[in-house]
Amino acid sequence: MRTLLRRSRRAFFALIGSAALALGGAVALPGTAQAANILSNPGFESGLSPWSCTGNLGSAVSSPVHGGSKALAGAVSSSDNAQCSQTVSVQPNTTYNLSGWVRGSYVYLGVDGGASTWTTSPSAYSQLSVSFTTGASQTSATIYVHGWYAQGTYYADDISLDGPGGGGGGSDTQAPTAPTGLTSTGKTSSSVSLKWNASTDNVGVTAYDIYRGSSQVLSVSGTSATVSGLSPSTGYTFTVKARDAAGNTSAASNSVTVTTDAGSGGGTGFKQAAPYLYEGWGDPPNPSTVMSATGIKWFTMAFVLDSGGCTPAWDGSRPLTGGADQTAVNQIRAAGGDIVPSFGGWSGSKLGANCSSAGALAGALQKVIDAYGLKAIDMDIENSDEFENEAVQARILTALKTVKADNPGLRTIVTFGTSTTGPTYYGNRLIEQAQSLGANIDVFTIMPFDFGGGSDMYGNTVNAAEGLKAKLKSTFGWDDATAYAHIGISGMNGLSDQQENTTPAIWSQIRDWANSHHIARLAYWAVNRDRPCAGGGVVSNCSGIDQSNWQFTSITAGFTG
């Protein structure tokens, strides 16, 4: 039986401890001969460029500094760690030494996908250093520094990456050629898709920056992108510039002007009330009985896992078709409803973690889409194997982008944990990767429970959703209405694993807030528990509190967005 604790969150200091353990256990690597620092603007003397900072939270300040006249200040918020990064050209199979001077509470220095180090609460500048070795075919590396959520502004200065630069040196001043052939490949009422021809550069292009008018709105590594968060029936002019690892930027491409389709607003137009129903646990009820009693139309069916070899199956063991799960789907559809399958969850063998590539994962998702003629799919991204693995996050997002392109009209949902004030580090990374990959996710659903939220489940749920809204706005450039229209909330009825109590009255408040802010999705875990058992504790087939049968489902059915 799947434990209710499938969605518990790692505490902040546990995360710090594991990071320290991982660093302490690293094998010492042989050093290389020292070379000139290959980072550009390492002391922030000329501002931020070519460093880029999440949420526009970085700035060059004149005090406090370690050396020179400027330093970086990262204005950490409760939902953004103010990560500032720079991508440089490197040589394969080469050891590099990264160091920097930092000041603040829990400041990290590291390389994307590799080693990192951190320091606690220094009142003055202290030096961090870490070594890493590039892969056999690696030609670029992204160096970053960031603080920690709600820990106050951090400062960084005189960051150095010693080792040979890509192309035999670190003093590249040649800009890439301008991209050519910019054209629109599609549009909706809220987005425009673009493609262009690749630029050339003496050491290689690392990114393309997309501009809407004079404002940069997106940065991607490939030669296509989708700009979202646009208004309907509105003309927009786009250009693209190429950028190399040294921060050299090309001239602008040709411009293209596109008018978005007519529509009701900048959202997805997708509204769904879909509580979780699980056929492998908790005395699963007859869905048609629940539908008749409550008026609910959609269910989120849990969980599709890997039965081996990147092969989808319900719970990793029940047949994809012909079993109890298909019987439930047939009953739901016969009663005029529909389902969205949820892939993943807290435990079990997950497709995202076990499929060898994004293409293989997309193929597994397609099998389920074809089996049930789906209109939407949900990726429930949890635990260290998926949520806390940035490479797996990218694999999942790329697969979702693929199946969305292959199945016109398919809606894609990602579901993940949250803090009481919004996404955590890994939630922010998920959102940032969705933007950089052009994944065009329809709904970002948070799970506001099992986060040590205390007694105010309504207030903490709203605060978490507002934190998600702020992150979506800063990442995608959306306005409030568009950001809300991409938000989902998936709560837990009655008692959570951490004894948080969401009563029917509180859930009604949450639903009413969701309606008034026109979010996209409302769900909860789970219909199996939507039965009374006051004093029953946290169990699989009832809520642990006093309620009527199917009361939370009835409340959820009143969600209209």
211: Cα separation from own chain's centroid: 23
Q: Which residues of 459-483 are buried (b: 16+ CB within 10 A; e: fewer)?
A: ebbbbbbbbbbbbbbbbbbbeeebb
Q: Give Cβ neighbours of residue 559 (< 8 Å, ≥ 6 apart).
A: 271, 273, 511, 514, 515, 522
Whole-number Å distance between alpha carbons of 257 and 259: 7
Phi, psi of 363 (to 5 degrees): -65, -40
- Which of 279, 382, 388, 500 is labelled catalytic? 382
Whole-number Å distance between alpha carbons of 197 and 199: 7
Phi, psi of 44 (to 5 degrees): 60, 25
- Listed as own residue / partner, the contacts of 360-363 with beta carbons closer than 8 Å and 24 or more positions apart are 360/310, 361/310, 361/395, 361/396, 361/399, 362/398, 362/399, 362/402, 362/403, 362/406, 363/310
* Strand (E) or helix (H) holding 553: helix 551-557
Judging by beta carbons within 10 Å of its beta carbon (0-12, 13-18, 19+), is residue 260 exposed, middle or buried? buried
Whole-number Å distance between alpha carbons of 98 and 160: 6
Return the SS3 of 233: coil
Q: Euclidean distance between the first and final Cα of the chain, in Å?
A: 34
Q: Which residues of 306-343 are buried (b: 16+ CB within 10 A; e: fewer)?
A: bbeebbbbbbbebebeeeebbebbebbeeeebbbbbbb
Q: Are strands 71-74 and 107-111 parallel, antiparallel or unpaired?
A: unpaired
241: Cα separation from own chain's centroid: 26
Q: Which of 58, 102, 54 is nearest to 79 (CA)?
A: 54
Q: Give Cβ neighbours of residue 465 (< 8 Å, ≥ 6 apart).
A: 446, 448, 487, 489, 513, 517, 519
Instruction: Please give the DSSP secondary-structure letter assigned to residue 386.
Output: I
| Active-site residue flag, 45 | no
Whole-number Å distance between alpha carbons of 443 and 223: 25
Provide the annotated active-site residues. Answer: 382
